Amino acid sequence: MHFAYPGRKTSHPPPYAVKQSQSSLRRSSERLRMIAVGALGSVAILFLVYRLFTGGGAYIPSGTPKGVIVTVFDTESSQAWRDAIMDNRRDYASRHGYATFFTNTSAYKVGPPSTPKSWAILPALRHAMSTHPHTPYIFYLSPSALIMTPSLSIENHIMAPSRLESIMLVDRSVVPPDSVIKTFSHLKGANIDFVLTQDDKGLSQNSMVIRNGEWAKYLLDAWFDPLYRSYNFQKAERHALEHIVQWHGTILSRLALVPQRTMNSYVEGHKEGVYTEGDFAANFEGCEKRSVKVDPEERKGKKTPPTKLVNMCEKEMAPLLTRWREMVDREGRGK
């Protein structure tokens, strides 16, 4: 039998229709929530990357020092010598509006007793950054070095973009003479965050400038990685630095090598890096641990080696320290 009109639809839909609608709404809500979370995560990652590689233009309060000079002493050195080095740094800092940061290797735990104490310069630099979070530059200078031309500022002599572009060594083997990894040739001075020199053996950490910021923290954390400290590198943190510079493009892309005499002249060494009157700093590299002969009388009846390591910095630096003090006195800046 056929009806002229279709049957009337019930006003009470079956239960399954309601369930299907609720399930669809729930899926749509979850999908929207996942999209929102993903978008927020992407924005957060992009922001962190931006801060890491640009510094983010952080606010600098008034009264912030233009830079911080960091020097880390070995506690076995004499107090008189440490006082002389601190005077040298304070005089330089007072001329340019910098702060000083002095500490000892014993202040930081770097690993088991067998770990070289020289690793302490890295947590010391981190400590200086946390103490002066807004300062633009952190300048580490080994206690074996004297600032001999204090009129030269970190900003103008080293870190000004135009200055860096005129002096930085491009397409240069990171570890001389024939490392296949070389400094980039296309970097702009404004993008450099890490400046140091080489000597005839490789990279030198005795004198270096780091632009303060998120990237600097990344550099120091990567460099101080426990894995590297456990590697027993022959030259400890120096060889670790050479390793990360050659294997981490994010570090090499922010690094500039400058001629050694720009900021790290050696009193003795390769002719290209030997200190000359007028150079910024004179470094008595290695004076903290010179090998000297042991007096035969001292060895008598003892099973001791014929040589021992002695801190000779105070003795070797005495002539230049005297000249520096005379210069300061002539300028009326002495104590």
- Residue 202 gets the label, from left (phi > 0), alpha (psi -120 to 50) or beta, of left
In contact, 139 and 67? CB cutoff 8 Å: yes
Q: What is the pLDDT of residues 278-316, one digit of tens each?
A: 999 999 999 988 888 777 777 676 777 778 788 899 999
- The whole-angstrom separation of Cα 307 and Cα 293 is 4
Measuring CA to CA, which residue among 6, 280, 318, 319 is closest to residue 157? Answer: 280
Architecture, CATH, for domain 67-286+313-330: Alpha-Beta Complex (3.90)
Give me 44's structure tokens. 């957060």
pLDDT at 212: 97
Give DSSP secondary structure letters for 121-161.
HHHHHHHHHHHSTT-SEEEEE-TTEEE--TT--HIIIIISH
Question: Residue 292 class from Cβ within 10 Å (0-12 exposed, 13-18 middle, 19+ buried)?
Answer: exposed
| Tokens linked to 247 | 């294997």
Q: Are strands 67-73 and 99-104 parallel, antiparallel or unpaired?
A: parallel
Q: What is the pLDDT of residue 16?
A: 47
- CB burial of residue 309 (10 Å; 0-12, 13-18, 19+): exposed
pLDDT at 214: 96
Q: pTM to 2 decimals?
A: 0.80
pLDDT digits (tens, 9 = 90+) for 85-117: 999 999 999 999 999 999 999 999 999 999 999
Q: Locate tokens 């550099």: which residue?
A: 219
Q: How far apart are CA 211 and CA 196, in angstroms?
A: 12
Nearest to 54 by CA among 203, 163, 193: 193
Tell me, what's the pLDDT at 298?
A: 73
Among 130, 227, 152, 133, which Cα is nearest to 141's?
Answer: 152
Q: What does the chain come to in residues?
A: 335
Angstrom distance (rounded) from CA 175 to CA 234: 15
Reading the chain (335 residues) residue by residue, the pLDDT tens digits are 445 545 555 555 555 444 445 566 566 677 777 776 666 666 556 655 555 555 444 567 888 999 999 999 998 889 999 999 999 999 999 999 999 999 999 999 999 999 999 999 999 999 999 999 999 999 999 999 999 999 999 999 999 999 999 999 999 999 988 889 999 999 999 999 999 999 999 999 999 999 999 999 999 999 999 999 998 898 999 999 999 999 999 999 999 999 999 999 999 987 889 999 999 999 999 998 888 877 777 767 677 777 878 889 999 999 999 999 999 999 988 76
DSSP string, 285-315: TTGGGEEEEPPHHHHTTS---SEEEE--HHH
In sequence order, what E strands does the chain have? 67-73, 99-104, 137-141, 145-147, 194-199, 202-211, 255-257, 265-266, 281-283, 290-293, 307-310
How many other C-beta atoms are found inside a 10 Å radius of the C-beta of residue 280? 23
